[in-house]
Amino acid sequence: MMNFIRISARNLLRNKLRTTLTVLGASVAIIAFVMLRTVLSAWSTAADFAAKDRIATRHKVSFVITMPKNYVDQIRAVPGVKSATYAIWFGGKNPKKPEQFFATMAFDAPSMLEVFDELVLAPDQQQAFLADKQGAIIGDVLARQLGLKVGDRFTLQGSIYPGDWPLNITGIYTATKKSIDRSSMFFHYSYVNDSLPPDRQDQIGWIASRIDDPGRGPAISAAIDQMFDVKDIQTTTMSERAMNLSFMGMISSLLKALDVISIIILFIMMMILGNTIAMGVRERTREYGVLRAIGFPPASIAWFVVGEAAVTGIVSGIVGLALSFPIVELGLGRLLEENMGAWFPYFRIDPKTYVMGMGLALVLALAASIVPARNAFRLQVTDALRRLA
């Protein structure tokens, strides 16, 4: 078998230009496949690594409709709830670069740091944040993107809450979980709420609660919603994973399309390889005829073709996967984490994707060789010796 592969590898080097172009074409397909699969896996990271002991409560109709702030006190009194915090989506922008997107949220600061304990903040920075009503903490990724450091002054331009909102950068956080966006900005709910007209005050977007037993999550969620069923504003409470999945559901059609496109790309790769293998078989028809004439069985001729396909697939897979790391993870990944961290908090190529990419490169190459190998197997000696390439 190894002899067949070595001979096949030498045959591929006869036409170096065509082989190089084929490998590059197949490698591009592998890179595209890895990119799409990584986008899909990165998008689901927030759901996959969601805290099991955290639930979220929002307006029953939609996430964008607010609820009364006093709901949080009632939720804290529900048996099984250890702590709860509340927040609003602020929708702020960098006035110097309004096209730049990053998540901006106003939280109840003391309870936020308790409920979201995976946020890592230096003790002195945490104290400074809690003591300063205009204080804000930002992720380390966002800090690099905006060129900010602790002690800087930053003015946020509001959209949902119009106006200029001066903030003091009192801390830069990291995270112990992949589900936490490190390109977000958090600041005090009271700073925003106290600046609003009376008719807009004391409204919140959602409530996050820590529970004492993840196994009782559905029962606690049901108890919370039943408590507000008699109110004018009803709620929907779900696990953090379910809420994150609901965000994914908003673009479920796009995710399905990416899944289909990744499969189509693999078929394109198979056609590229199949075309190259078929051309090689046609060019070496007379040689195969000579081999048959001196005693090589039909199966050996077919193995030459399969060997060429295997070598091409392996080389294409290696080149494609080697290029995927700098292009997909270091290039696209860093770009998405810095500019779309709310949706892609952790963009890394899953090791399973590498294995899948390499395996598919080999399997598809072998699949592409089936027809050419069958034709070579059926080749008649007299026909092969008469045929011109």
How distant, in Å, are the alpha carbons of 4, 267, 369 from that of 103?
A: 57, 38, 50
Q: Could you tell me where the DSSP H helices lie in the chain? A: 2-12, 16-43, 45-48, 71-76, 109-115, 123-131, 140-146, 189-193, 217-228, 240-249, 252-283, 285-293, 298-324, 334-339, 351-368, 370-377, 381-386
Distance between the two ends of the chain, CA-based, in angstroms?
A: 27
Q: Name 133's Cβ contacts closer than 8 Å, sequence gap at least 6.
A: 188, 190, 191
User: What does the pLDDT look like over 85-130, one tens digit per residue?
Assistant: 999 999 898 888 888 788 899 999 999 999 998 889 999 999 999 9
Q: What gap in Å lies between CA 62 and CA 352, rounded to an integer?
A: 36
Query: What pLDDT score was predicted for residue 344?
Result: 67
Query: What pLDDT score was predicted for residue 389?
Result: 46
Q: What is the mean pLDDT of each run of 10 residues along the chain (389 residues)?
A: 61 74 85 84 66 89 89 95 94 85 90 90 95 95 90 92 94 84 91 92 94 92 94 90 66 66 78 76 72 78 80 88 88 71 70 87 84 77 61
Q: What gap in Å lies between CA 375 and CA 250, rounded to an integer?
A: 49
Contacts by 381-386 with C-beta closer than 8 Å and gap 24+? 381/289, 381/292, 381/293, 382/289, 383/289, 384/285, 384/286, 384/288, 384/289, 384/290, 384/292, 385/286, 385/289, 385/290, 385/293
Query: What pLDDT score was predicted for residue 309?
Result: 82
Query: What pLDDT score was predicted for residue 59?
Result: 93
Query: What pLDDT score was predicted for residue 319?
Result: 92
| Strand-pair category, 203-204 with 67-68 | antiparallel
Do residues 96 and 35 touch, judged by C-beta distance below 8 A? no
Query: What pLDDT score was predicted for residue 376?
Result: 75
Q: What gap in Å lies between CA 90 and CA 106, rounded to an integer?
A: 6
Stated pTM of the model:
0.67
Do residues 216 and 80 touch, judged by C-beta distance below 8 A? yes
